[in-house]
Structure 1
Amino acid sequence: MAADTTTAVPAETSPGRFGWGRFAAKRALRLVVLLCGVAVAAFSLMTASPVDPVRAYVGAEVARIGPEQQALIEDAWGFDDPPVERFLAWAGELVQGNLGDSIVFNQPVADVIAERFVTSLALMAAAWTLSAVLGFGMGLLAGWYRGRWVDRVLTWWAYTLASAPTFWVALLLLYVFAVSLRIAPVCCAAPIGVLADDVTVWDRLHHLILPAVTLSIVGVAPIVLHTRQAVVEVLASDHVAFARAQGERGWGLVRHRIMRNAAAPALMLSFASFGELFGGSILAEQVFAYPGLGAATTTAALRQDVPLLLGIALFTTVFVFCGNLLGDVIHRFVDPRVTVDGAR
């Protein structure tokens, strides 16, 4: 009878149902703690702000409002209550699923965030896809042709874009393609003066291209550099040397030996860049007058819309946390050597 030569897989490298359960429980607890910290920090910063919310909301008409009217507005918004009492009242409503009402938009905060995020989602999804695909492809080329002119050009281009501010890139592209060449619209998410029902898919795509290209150009640089470094490390590994000794060359070597190993850090970086993507969308939406969540964030900050700012802070925290979580999970499937706890 032949001896059993199979080797048992250690429990920590094959997590199974209980491993994933512990992973989910830890991440859920981490999210709750993170949301509590963000809520306290955001509320403290807004309370300590020297800007008067009533004056910021009224604007130039503040001179026509007397002290009595200002006191009535502060009482209606609850600004005359102690900060701790205001925070506890807001946290109590939050636990019940109520984010409050926006002062500027005169709508529930949840409705404002949902409506504006749908517009921003198309912009961020297009920019994220472009930056991931282009960054990974150019990183593969730079790593494969390490030390040659292709590598030097792509690396120089990536370093230049990594140090370029988003608003500067947006203004440059706006001047070239919208003002000089006139092949792109100057602003907005749809043609001005056209009813929403009459806006076509092409109209929306036409207004989406330039802001999406702006975000993707800025976001592609770190993916190029990290993918290049991963490709260089894989090319120097023993299994690639063994594959070359067996006769593998060109695209076959890249497809079978390099792409999967280089894809893991690229995917991790792409999903971990949700925070930078949202921050870049705020600047891009301001330059292109794109009516998304970034523009709503700027409006709420300038006019001290505290409920909306708190809601956006919590929503952004969940958004970035989900991006990091997806990156970890996908990294686990792309690279089986990594366990759910991140160990190799």
Structure 2
Amino acid sequence: MAAGVTPRGVALRALRLVSLLVAVAVGALLLVSASPVDPVRAYVGADVAALGPEQRALVEERWGLGEPPLQRFLAWAGNLLRGNLGESQVYGEPVTTVLLDRAAASLSLMAAAWLVSGVLGFGLGLWAGVRRGRVADRVLTWWAYTLASAPTFWVGLLLLYVFSVSLGWTPVCCAAPIGTLPGEAGLLERLHHLVLPALTLSVVGVSPVLLHTRQAAIEAMDSDYVTFARAQGERLPGLVLHRVARNAAAPALVLQLASIGELFGGSLLAEQVFTYPGLGEATTQAALRQDVPLLMGIALATALIVFAGNAAGVLAHRWVDPRTRTAVAA
């Protein structure tokens, strides 16, 4: 059986997941119900003034807008148990279809950013830790702390101005050339439009991995086994590759897996900056137009992604650290 994976641990995690989804669903509905935005006005738009009482009643009946929040929640929960997330008011399609279409774009963006930020952060963190106190360490540490406090949308706007507006190297927006559907665009065209949003998320995500890897590398360089290896004549490249990197890889991997939820939140902001057709754009449209079924579906999908990332981080920690392999699953 995998490290830390027991029937009791699986049952506890399943119970936590169910309770998390219930809490997220209730909280999302309460927030939407407390919104001052008129759902009929948000749905109809500028033509709401032309609606008569009968037409307004039809719209409310069509989407259940006139029902009490508790009744709406129970009806939605009953449909959810049957595998039906409802129909999106904005897109006129089943919520499941909208989520799957939009998630494909968001997940490709997140995967590229996750891989680049992990590899770059680990490599730079090793370099900074091994060169502790030198110019390279100071520059990288300052850069990491600066980026750690920088909002994702600010970094995205800065990169957009530099690479798209000033240099003209990357597209200004979208996941495909304007006038072309994403499914009709070629692979190189999609990658070209993916570069800048992924770079934005990567630049922001590098900071925590770099700082944690740097600290782990410093501790490894100060350890007795590295001191003994140096006394035996082992040179720095071998020390870093065979001893320091192996010990620093564990916290970097755990942190990178646990940051999937944060990466997902950052991707929502990056998608707004670059008008990237992922879950971020769908979330904004659903919020502005009070699309309750889509908002509820996105809230559940977000909770699942965050929960999966945190669970993967815990399991990875138990796998890479032998001292925790006998621990009872929490």
1:278 paired residue number: 264
Using the TM superposition, give the Cα deviation of residue 340 of structure 1 relative to its aligned residue in structure 2, in angstroms.
6.3
1:82 paired residue number: 68
1:266 paired residue number: 252
> Does 2:37 correspond to 1:58?
no
One of 211, 215, 218 as aligned partner of 2:201? 215
User: CA 1:254 to 1:303, structure 2 compared with 1: closer, same or farther past 3 Å?
Assistant: same
Using the TM superposition, give the Cα deviation of residue 108 of structure 1 relative to its aligned residue in structure 2, in angstroms.
0.7
One of 181, 186, 201 as aligned partner of 1:200? 186
Distance 2:135 2:190 in 1: 39
Distance 1:51 1:94 in 2: 25
Using the TM superposition, give the Cα deviation of residue 92 of structure 1 relative to its aligned residue in structure 2, in angstroms.
1.0
Tell me, which stretches of 5 or more residues in structure 2 are unaligned? none
Contact 2:258 2:313 in 1 (8 A): yes
Percentage of identical aligned residues: 66
Using the TM superposition, give the Cα deviation of residue 264 of structure 1 relative to its aligned residue in structure 2, in angstroms.
1.3
Counterparts of 1:231-246 in structure 2, within 5 Å, are: 231-246=217-232
Letter in 1 for 2:115: T
**CA deviation digits over 1:76-135, x for unaligned, max 9?**
111211211111111111111111111111111111000100011111100111100000
Letter in 1 for 2:249: A
Q: Secondary structure at the match of 2:322?
A: coil
> Does 2:27 correspond to 1:27?
no
Using the TM superposition, give the Cα deviation of residue 295 of structure 1 relative to its aligned residue in structure 2, in angstroms.
0.8
Distance 1:251 1:178 in 2: 39
Q: Which moved more, 1:36-45 or 1:243-252?
A: 243-252
1:187 paired residue number: 173
> Does 2:108 correspond to 1:132?
no
Letter in 1 for 2:30: S
Counterparts of 1:85-234 in structure 2, within 5 Å, are: 85-194=71-180, 198-234=184-220
User: CA 1:49 to 1:27, structure 2 compared with 1: closer, same or farther past 3 Å?
Assistant: same
RMSD: 1.8
Distance 2:219 2:149 in 1: 25
Contact 2:122 2:210 in 1 (8 A): yes
Contact 1:167 1:287 in 2 (8 A): yes
Letter in 2 for 1:332: R
Using the TM superposition, give the Cα deviation of residue 169 of structure 1 relative to its aligned residue in structure 2, in angstroms.
0.9
Tell me, which stretches of 5 or more residues in structure 1 are unaligned? 1-14
Contact 1:278 1:294 in 2 (8 A): no
Between structure 1 and structure 2, the one with the greater Rg is 1
Distance 1:264 1:166 in 2: 26
**CA deviation digits over 1:35-71, x for unaligned, max 9?**
1111111111111111111111222221111222112
Contact 1:100 1:109 in 2 (8 A): yes
